[in-house]
Amino acid sequence: MNEITRLMNRAPKWATWMIYAAVGVFILTVVQSLTDTERLTSATTSSAMLRWAVPIMLAGLGGLFSERAGVVNIGLEGMLALGMWFGAWGTINYGPWWGLVIGIIGGGLGGLVHAIATVTFGVDHIISGVAIIIAAPGITRFLSLEIFANYDGGSITQSPGVDGVGKFTFPFLAGGSIGGWKSPDILGWFMDHGWWFISDLASVGRGLTFNLSQMTILAYLLVPLIGWVLWRTRFGLRLRIAGENPQAGESQGVNILRYKYIAVLLSGALAGFGGAYIASPELNGIYLEGSTLNRGFIGLAALIIGNWRPAGVMAGALLFAYPTALGKRDLEGTSTHSLLLVAVIALAFVVLWALSRNKTGDAVLAGVLALLAGFWFLAADTVPKWWTDVQPQLIVILVLVFFAQRLRMPMAVGQPYRKGES
Amino acid sequence: MRKRLLLLLAVLLSFSLIAAACGDDDSEADAGADDAGTDDAGTDDSAADDDMAEDTSDGSEDESDMDEDEGDMAEDEGDMAEEPVASVGLVFDIGGEGDLSFNDSAAAGLARAEAELNVTTSKVSPNDDGSNRAELLQLQADSSDIVIAVGFLFETDAAAVGSANAGSNFGVIDSSMLDFSGETPAPYADNIAGLVFSEEQGSFLVGAAAALKSTNGHLGFIGGVCCFGLIEKFEAGFIAGAKAVNPDITITSQYITEFPNFDGFNDPASGRETALAMFEGGADVVYHAAGGTGLGLFQAAKEHTEASGTKVWGIGVDSDQYNTVDAELQEYVLTSMLKRVDTAVFEIIKAHIEGTFGPGEQRYDLSVDGVGYSTTGGFVDDIVDQLEEFKASIIAGDIVVPTDPAEA
């Protein structure tokens, strides 16, 4: 066991993530063979997961920026709604790329309000966030009444159809073309051979590389970019000091207020991107009132289980999006049912982990939960619809129960800061 | 620094102006209710509503009966004095006027009543979480003889407000307004009626249409929210209608969310994903009863048709969706199951004026054109005769359409 840990620690980060992902697919393959289902590792499921995760991830990354600078942003849900409206409006009038820019600006306006309230006037972060959540649907309703209601096919609750940006397929991996030459489709070749695990791995991979919207790729490129900005640049260091110990930063001459403003603005802008993505054909293909579906809150949950780190947020968003994406296509109800077996295996890993650290209480608790999930798996053939709905919440609760001590939030998050107090 | 603060204050103020403007909906509505006596309230709207009424009536075949009624009413109107015979207060469901569906259909019924029955009308919309329903009902009850509430979510509030205002009549769309707490279900009060539709009968007809159009013998049904009893009626009728044409047909049913999570009516992305899975599984006609989620069905029909080369169809619900979707999706809307909220609104107002208002459940079925199917686009023109035969059999009682999917 220790040998493996040492090897894993020496490997580069991206390789570690790849190994985790492969282990995940391996577990899914085992479960799939045991339960005789076929959707768990299908390319359509992984491709839907990739798209479903984007707004959750962008909201989470927005929360990351804001909380790293010490400002709690629960208004993300409202900023998603603003981004969705402005994204749809911009796309209808100026095309999808301008729509994205306008959506980002729309979300950024929500961030600006939050920044003015919390940073300049020292309003409690939660109160300002709630105000934005309440105000945003009112603002979008008003704007729809004034603008979309006059469009052909629009109404006070929805816009006409929204166009999308171009698609991209990775060359070699999934057979995309380079300058008109069609490259070989390697993952597709492996996928079609029906080899146990290898074809499953290729099929998941092909779903993640074939026919992606350029907007999707842009969203995922933000993850390493944000990691680099926050941990490898002077700007990032100063932004993080605003969330860890603003007084210390101030004594070193850092303009804390400015960094907090920038962080909250970027937070709103990222949520605006997420909102514009919801309105794009990758998800809704329309602005529809109330269709943010709490993705902003789930994004905050992804932020927590992702331990306030960009890659963690992405992993959390993918983890939350997977059962949803699976559930939508699971017409037989057997695949969502087999997720119970996945839960049993995951909890068994938790038991092993807890035992290796002499946490007997945690091990017993995880063991009991695993038994309950296992009993449910054997007792029923299908699960009710709410099973997929509650999975994000369940995962967060479990992570908080077992791993809370390993999570570390920015020290000064949520605390009021006034210039010149230190 | 001081200047900067002032600037920020200015920005905040301008935002609060926008926020105040959002409340407009309600304040406008209040104003409308206050001067309910004058005809000012919503004269601009009624023109648009008339268009809407024309659009939705395109689909129904038996307009002629209606026209006769209208003729009678027109004669009556001549005898009437200029003085309005009744005042009508309408309370919209969340979404309000302009939703291209439910609420607009109710508004069309109200506009028709205004034009033909010599009544005054006023309309109000709830705020976006619907927390002021009871107050709006009371507001309308204070100034109107008959209050119409659009949507089953009004049930509890309407029962309470209706019992306290015996002077006005109340009609609630989509709820039977029966109190099930006693031995036998009884109306909450003598002045409260529930206007319900036989959705299963309309769904039966579109189910038959789907089965007649299907080449694979495989259909799909997407429900928005399961397990609160309403959407299952659509599913049951659809299955029964399809099986009446082809007893061996396969029907895949899927619900998006489960009560009390109503997200399933507001999630086009899920609708598209589920519909794609159905089309890829071999279904070639899919019916939805899922509100805003249903748009995803038509997107999926287009996507699958273009990717696979074989034409697949979606069937709309409530209003004629051929008229509400984008032009590029219209050719995938086979037909729509029409729920004539406008008919129900008009009829209950007429009943109130004629003194035939009855409490409890008032049912609108095929025989009074409370439900039906649309023919816009002409995709079902070749099977209209067969559908009309089914319709006649249902009206005659030869076919009894089940309301529980298990019996279909």
Instruction: Find residues 20-59 of chain B whose CB sits inside 8 Å of chain A.
Output: 21-25
N-to-C CA span, chain B? 73
Q: For residues A197 and A202, what is the distance between their CA atoms, to the nearest angstrom?
A: 8
**Domains and their CATH numbers in chain A:** 39-167+211-331 (1.10.3470), 170-207 (no CATH)
Tell me where in chain B the CATH 3.40.50.2300 domain(s) lie.
26-197, 199-339+378-407
Query: What CATH architecture is B199-339+378-407?
Result: 3-Layer(aba) Sandwich (3.40)
- Do B9 and B16 touch, CB atoms closer than 8 A? no
Put simply, the answer to whether B258 touches A139 (Cβ < 8 Å) is: no
**Whole-number Å distance between alpha carbons of A295 and A84:** 12
**Percent of chain A residues topping a pLDDT of 90:** 66
Strands B186-187 and B178-179: antiparallel
For chain B positions 259-318, those within 8 Å of chain A (CB to CB) are 261, 263, 266-270, 272-274, 276-278, 280-281, 292, 295-296, 299
**Spatial CA neighbour of B341 closest among B132, B192, B174, B182:** B174
Cβ atoms A43, A206 nearer than 8 A: yes
pTM to 2 decimal places? 0.85
CB nearest A48 (choices: B8, B19, B273) = B273
Q: What are phi and psi of B35, to 5 degrees?
A: -100, 50
Question: What mean pLDDT comes out for the span B150-178?
Answer: 90
Other CB atoms within 10 A of residue A371 CB? 12
What pLDDT sits at residue B64? 43
Residue A244: closest CA among A108, A91, A69:
A69
pLDDT of residue B43: 41
Out of A37-51, A81-95, A169-183, which region has the weakest mean confidence (pLDDT)?
A: A169-183
Q: Do A285 and B273 touch (CB under 8 A)?
A: no
For B25, nearest residue in chain A (alpha carbons): A142
CATH number given to B26-197: 3.40.50.2300
From A89's Cα to the closest Cα of chain B, the distance in A is 16
Phi, psi dihedral angles at A181 (to 5 degrees): -90, 125
Min CA distance, A134 vs chain B (Å)? 9
The pLDDT assigned to B7 comes to: 62
**Is the CB of A329 less than 8 angstroms away from the CB of B299?**
no
Which of A285, A293, A386 lies at the smallest CB-CB distance from B267? A293
In this prediction, residue B74 has a pLDDT band, given cuts at 50, 70 and 90, of very low
* A289, pLDDT greater than 60: yes
In angstroms, the first-to-last Cα distance of chain A is 48
Cβ of B267 within 8 Å of Cβ of A139? The answer is: no
ipTM (interface pTM): 0.91
Cβ-defined contact of B100 to A158 (cutoff 8 Å)? yes
Q: What are the C-alpha distances in Å from A242 to residues A249, B125, B189? A: 7, 45, 63
pLDDT, tens only, B280-338? 999 999 999 998 899 999 999 999 999 999 999 999 998 899 988 889 999 999 999 99
Best B17, B100, B129, B328 residue to mutate vs chain A (most A CBs within 10 Å): B100
Measured between beta carbons, the chain A residues lying within 8 angstroms of B52 are: none
Confidence of residue B10 (pLDDT cuts 50, 70, 90): low
Closest by Cβ to A329, choosing from B269, B274, B328:
B274
Closest residue in A to B324 (Cα–Cα): A153
Average pLDDT, chain A: 91
pLDDT digits (tens, 9 = 90+) for B105-148: 899 999 999 999 989 999 988 876 778 889 999 999 999 999 99
How far apart are alpha carbons A159 and A148 in whole angstroms? Answer: 6
CB contact under 8 A, B277 and A329: yes
As a whole number, mean pLDDT of residues B4-29 equals 54
| Per-residue confidence band for B387, with pLDDT thresholds at 50, 70 and 90 | very high
In this complex, which of B15, B255, B268 lies closest to A284 when CB atoms are compared?
Answer: B268
pLDDT 10s digits, A227-256: 999 999 999 999 999 999 999 999 999 999
B284 contact partners, CB below 8 Å, separation of at least 6: B214, B215, B216, B218, B219, B310, B311, B312, B313
Sign of the dihedral defined by the CA atoms of residues B28, B33, B37, B39, in that order: positive
Could A291 and B268 be called an inter-chain contact, meaning their C-beta atoms sit closer than 8 Å?
A: yes
User: Residue A69: pLDDT band by 50, 70, 90 thresholds?
Assistant: very high
Please give the full DSSP string across B144-180, using - where no structure is assigned: -SEEEE-SGGGHHHHHHHHHH-TTSEEEEET---EET
pLDDT tens digit string along A73-114?
999 999 999 999 999 999 999 999 999 999 999 999 999 999
Cα dihedral A18, A20, A25, A26 sign:
positive
What pLDDT is attached to residue B84? Answer: 85
pLDDT of residue B139: 92
